[in-house]
Chains A and B, each alone.
Chain A
Amino acid sequence: MQTLIPQINHIKSSTRFWCMSITIATALSLLYGGQQESPDQPTLSLAAVLGGEIAPGFKTADQVMALQFPLDHGPHPAYRNEWWYFSGNLVDEQGLHFAYMLSFFRIAILAPGTDLSQQSHWASRHIWMAHIALSDVANNRHLQQERFSRGQPGMAGVTIKPLTLWLDNWQVKASAEGFPWQISVNTADFSLQLQISPVKAMVLQGERGFSQKSPGHASYYYSYPRLQTSGTLKLQGKQHQLTGLSWFDREWSSSALGDDQVGWDWFALQLDDGNDLMYYQLRDTQGQAQASSQGKWMQTDGTNNTIRPKEIDLQVLRYWRDESGTNYPVQWSLSYKTRAKRWIITALIDDQLMHTAVKYWEGAVQITDPDSKKILGRGYLEMTGY
């Protein structure tokens, strides 16, 4: 019987999976180990966690496969890990800007075939984790919470028909006919009730949803880059009616990244002209972007183009330093050379650091024109390995 940690160590997956595996594994080691996180060396734990073999007993993402919906919104217990990611930029009646990020992670601790011999409903093959963050831009405030649960007996999980995804009282639930989906999150600080519906079709990332990260390592990955969002936020006894756009990302796999990859910068940008851009830059130990970095240009008319690293030029314009002294790039210049476009990407709040078991920066950004300074859109940025 393997331990959880080595199993996590063996996870080879796409970028965002990476985040999950780091978070879970390091979360366990940090929380259970009772050690202080070493903020100046987050990559150390990352390097320690990643690498290794594909674990036996799990299916691997190794070929293009026809994805089926709504089935594939649901669980994939044959694979080691999967996640559901939501983020969005919203405004209230008075034009106050709020952004949110909600993610659910499933991580297997036992392979699908293993015998759960215990006469108990608590016998679980999975651990669940969820993160919520709310950026209150007007007040320069970033609220967040992290939760864990085992899968059984019913504290967390996912079912289909209709899709229901939950951990404790955080829930995403599809209506009987599919969309809209209801997001319901309650924390001690705020409560968020949202309704999301796609205004642009689903985009299969990589090759028809098969996302090859490096030789031998891949995942299944799709997105809803643009979902019309409305709902309410209760914050400090005040209710806000919100509208705006959300983004949904979905990925599952059983394998992780290469040992030389220490972090990434992931951009999910929604432009006011109706085009969307997703790009992730994988950084190696030298901090250089790797060739396996990739993205997608998703146009208003529904046509999509894969983006290769050579088409992109990313420059850091400004850093923000956290309490531990780590520098996070909070302003970028992103050039999409193929289309002769250049944008300035700026964090709406510098400190959108997730103080979860493993720190990462995940937050709302604003896209501006470098020359006219005009706001061209909004989006989300995720940065790890700093």
Chain B
Amino acid sequence: MVSRLLWQSSLRFMRQQYWQTALSFIAITLGVAIVVAVDLANESARMAFDWSVSGLDGQVSHQIVANSGVIDEALFVNLRKQLGITRSAPQLEARIQCLGESFSLLGIDPISELSLRRHAMAIGNEAMPQLMQQANGVILLRQTADRLGLKTADDFICQYRGKPLQLKLSSTLAQAPNPAFERLIITDIANAQHMLGRRGELDKIALELNDAELQAIKTWLPPRYRLIDTQRRHGGVSAMSQAFHHNLTAMSLLVLLVGGLLIYNAMTFSALRRQRVIGIYRALGLSRRELITLLLVESVVVAVPASFTGLALGLALSQYLLHLEIQTIDDLYFRLTVSGFVLSPASLLKGMILGVFTSVLATLSPAMNASRVAVINLQRRSATEQHWQVRYKKIAVIGAAGFVGLYLYEQLPTQGLTSAYIALILMVFSFCLLTPLALSLSCRILEKLVRPWSSISLRLAIRGVAAGISRSGIAVASLAVALATVMAMTIMIASFRFSVDTWLTQSLSGDVHISMPKPPQDKAFHTALIDDLRRLDEVGHISSRRSFRGETQAGRLRIVSIENRLLEHYPPLLAQVDSALQRYIQGQGIFISEPLAYHQHLQAGDLFSLYTQEGLKAFTVLAIFRDYSSSRGIVSVAPALLQKYWPAQAIDALTLRRSESSSYDELLTALKTELAKQPGDYPMVSIRTIRERSLAIFDRTFAITQVVDVLLLIVAFIGLLSALLALQLEKSSEYAIYRAIGMSRLQLAALILQQTCLLGFSAALLAMPLGFLLAQRLIHVINRRSFGWSMEQVFPVEILPQSLLLAIIAALLAAIYPIAKMWQKTIASALREE
């Protein structure tokens, strides 16, 4: 039993050393907050993703989709009349923008929905029939309507492909049966076809089938359509988003690691600070168990409230992260219809466990040490350091073994993303273990280097670092990991951006992009229009694009065909068979994008099957091209092939290049004049704008990683600060002796500064190889496994001085408090502490 007197002593210590208690508190709080924030945001985004998928399709067993992407509505009628499949409902979807937000316009048949009982239950007795009665009537979730400031019967304008849609809010839903409704605008299928200009077309037919019906449909369905098991499809979609979450999870694990180091550092320091007191306790007869209990309880007393504060902070922070994350998923993967925040108890628990357990663990090790060491030694700080001088070598051996293990692990034929992350974490961990040795060795080398000409104070600084390796090693490791992470992310993002930019420049040829009006006009019309445009003096070159979502052996993918494409505007081919381009143009095969090749394990020369109007047909993959437009992949087919297998596909866009004699503005004016004569709307956008928008989306995507980067740096900074403070404050008696033997305050301040700068500098130096290694892994392993994208690695040189600067600034800031403290103390009082 620990006596009351001891508790009082313990409490008094905490109160006296309030700054240190505060630092531990801050360390735990921050560590917990960041882990919880990233985790909660991740969890919410994942749930949002699931809801978005299941909200629309998850409640049915099957779907019919068309190989061409468009279902003839007659199929639905026949399904009902010939097969009597009553549990079926048509669906038409489009993404529209309303009052600055993105929504999914969902056209449904309220009556058919009765048979499926999915949207019906929510929509209410009056609202549903109203849908069928109002030519532009839509239904919104009440809270969405409130947010947009809309009341029933209000008119509002939305944008669909740059064209305005006039909608009327016919009614609102009091509550969402499922959060997917938050970003849904529901309308009658007739309205949807009308507004989207898609008469006669459906996107999907949702089905709830029993076994008999399933068999009946399988034999009945024409080959240009495909029956999809909804559950299986969702598996595919979520695998897609999984990659993104893995990226964030990896970051949160790094945060966890750095946070853990930070807490460890703070708690170890707390124990070390009290070595003398502990020595006295032990001398007075306190048992080991009592001692360990005392220290552990102390750590829990700090850790529990700190963890709770961390949870609260993390909760607040996660809202912001979620916003960024949703935006990213929205931009990159999927029209996310939900943005709801989910308070996942698992995330909170994880944070709590991290805070309390890390603290306890971090205390356990010094507490055990303290209890093991002979009473007399405990009173001497040097004992610990002596112990450490032996131990860090052992630790370094483990670290080196870690790297060897990592190398061996890499040799295993594994493709998994999880294993890639395990390897990444292993690498960082091994690195941390090597840090104290690396630091100590570099100090020794540095000392030798500077000995001939340096001042005593510099040598004192260097030796101080090496002597306090138990402290400085951890500080340097945590700062180095944080810096390295930031560096790696920066290198990865820079490489990615560079590659995307290059790809955009190459694949976006020309000056103006024109979208063709919907519904598509007949072919003769298109030919005539292109001829008309070609006759304009301002037009130099026209290429036309047909693009649609088609069914393939790998699920639904975008299939693109560009007619009249100039040779230099083919995307970069990464692998190809002999005379690939020539064979492609002749329609002897297809090109597929890199992610598709990666995920499907396809190489040039392999076969890949597409559903054509003649049913499933295998095509030779002639080449694999670089493309970042889809992480699932796209298929490119030559016009000759398209003509044969998907003849119904109409041109959906034109890309025009100005003639050499005219300017961009002249081209635009000429086009506007010409197109005004044509029926329908032709939204035009400059290629430059597309490029800028694409890059803007790219930047937005990585906004969240940058935020996490900053958070990581803050945690590392606190870690460095606490380590340096500990180091410096421990030395106050040493400094007092220096002062006593004639060192001025200024000289002493210089010594402290030199020492902290040295630590910062070492951390930055050590971070560089690690950062580079991490970047390599992110680019060539993680990204490739997640997205199937390869990228050209660039090295933004400026990050070297940047991280150095960052480290030095952190070091300088950390020096301020010890210097100030040293400055205030008189020599006598400082000496007395000894």
Contact = CB atoms under 8 A, between A and B. Distances in A.
B83 interface: yes
Contacts of B76: 155
Nearest to A8: B129
Contact of B81 (A34, A122, A154): A154
Contact of A168 (B80, B114, B124, B128): B80
Contact of A3 (B129, B135, B200, B210): B129
B109 interface: yes
Interface stretch (B188-196, B246-254, B427-435, B474-482): B188-196
A102 interface: no
Given A32-B127, A148-B111, A124 B81 contact: no
A291 interface: no
Interface in A149-191: 149-150, 152-155, 166, 168-170, 186, 188
Contact of B73 (A33, A109, A121, A170): A121
Contacts of B77: 153-155
A153 B81 contact: no
A28 interface: yes
A147 B114 CA distance: 9
Contacts of A3: 126, 129-130, 133
Contact of B111 (A115, A121, A149, A188): A149
B80 A5 contact: no
Interface in B73-132: 73-74, 76-77, 80-84, 86, 90, 109-112, 114-115, 117, 120-130, 132
Contacts of A154: 77, 81
Contacts of B731: none
B81 A148 contact: no
A188 B110 CA distance: 23
Given A122-B109, A168-B81, A1 B132 contact: no
A153 B129 contact: no
A33 B125 contact: yes
Contact of A28 (B73, B128, B188): B128
Interface string B166-181: 0000000000000000
A145 to B, nearest CB: 9
A170 B83 CA distance: 10
A123 interface: yes
Nearest to A147: B86
Contact of A120 (B80, B124, B190): B190
A110 interface: yes
A122 B193 contact: yes
A119 B194 contact: yes
Given A109-B129, A186-B84, A123 B190 contact: yes
A196 B212 CA distance: 30
Contacts of A120: 189-194, 199
Contacts of B127: 32
A118 B193 contact: yes
B130 to A, nearest CB: 5
Contacts of A115: 135
Given A28-B125, A32-B125, A1 B133 contact: yes
B124 A118 contact: no
Given A119-B199, A148-B111, A149-B111, A4 B194 contact: no
A217 to B, nearest CB: 24
Given A119-B194, A122-B189, A150 B132 contact: yes
A168 B86 contact: yes
B59 interface: no
A203 to B, nearest CB: 32
The residue among A2, A32, A110, A154 with the most chain B CB atoms within 10 A of its own CB is A32
B114 to A, nearest CB: 5
Contacts of B126: 3-5
B197 interface: yes
A124 B129 CA distance: 11
Contacts of A30: 125
A168 B188 CA distance: 20
The residue among B74, B76, B132, B197 with the most chain A CB atoms within 10 A of its own CB is B132
Contacts of B134: 1
Interface in A56-112: 109-110
Contacts of B129: 3-5, 28, 109, 127
B120 A31 contact: yes
A150 B199 contact: no
Q: Which label, helix, strand, loop or mixed, suits the secondary structure of the A interface?
A: loop
Contact of A169 (B73, B83, B191, B210): B83
Nearest to B132: A109
B172 to A, nearest CB: 14
A173 to B, nearest CB: 12
A152 B127 CA distance: 20
Contacts of A127: 111, 129, 132
Contacts of A122: 73, 90, 109, 188-190, 193
Nearest to A150: B111
A118 B135 contact: yes
A32 B192 CA distance: 21
A119 B197 contact: yes
A121 B199 contact: yes
Contact of B84 (A5, A33, A148, A169): A169
A117 interface: yes
Given A119-B199, A120-B189, A168 B109 contact: no
A81 to B, nearest CB: 14
B81 A33 contact: no
A121 B201 CA distance: 10
Nearest to A169: B84
Contacts of B110: 32
Contacts of B197: 119
The residue among A1, A2, A5 with the most chain B CB atoms within 10 A of its own CB is A1
A157 B556 CA distance: 35
B82 A169 contact: yes
B627 to A, nearest CB: 35
Contacts of B123: 32
Nearest to A34: B121
A85 B117 CA distance: 27
B207 to A, nearest CB: 14
Given A1-B133, A5-B126, A119 B193 contact: yes
A169 B125 contact: no
Nearest to A2: B133
A120 B120 CA distance: 22
Given A29-B125, A149-B112, A155 B80 contact: yes
A117 B90 CA distance: 20
Contact of A118 (B73, B112, B190): B190
Interface in B603-646: none
A148 B114 contact: yes
Nearest to B123: A32
A5 B121 CA distance: 17
B116 to A, nearest CB: 11
B372 to A, nearest CB: 68
B81 A166 contact: yes
Contacts of B109: 122, 150
Interface in A24-41: 28-34
Contacts of A119: 193-194, 197, 199
B133 A4 contact: yes
Nearest to B200: A121
A122 B115 CA distance: 17
B73 A148 contact: no
A97 B194 CA distance: 51
A115 B133 CA distance: 10
Nearest to A110: B133
11 contacts: A3-B133, A28-B128, A34-B121, A116-B135, A118-B193, A120-B193, A153-B77, A155-B80, A168-B84, A168-B86, A169-B81
- 9 cross-chain pairs, A with B, having the tightest CB-CB distances, nearest first: A4-B129, A169-B84, A122-B190, A118-B194, A120-B193, A29-B125, A120-B190, A34-B121, A123-B190
Given A4-B126, A116-B135, A122-B190, 10 more contacts: A1-B134, A3-B130, A28-B125, A28-B129, A31-B114, A33-B125, A109-B129, A117-B194, A120-B199, A152-B190
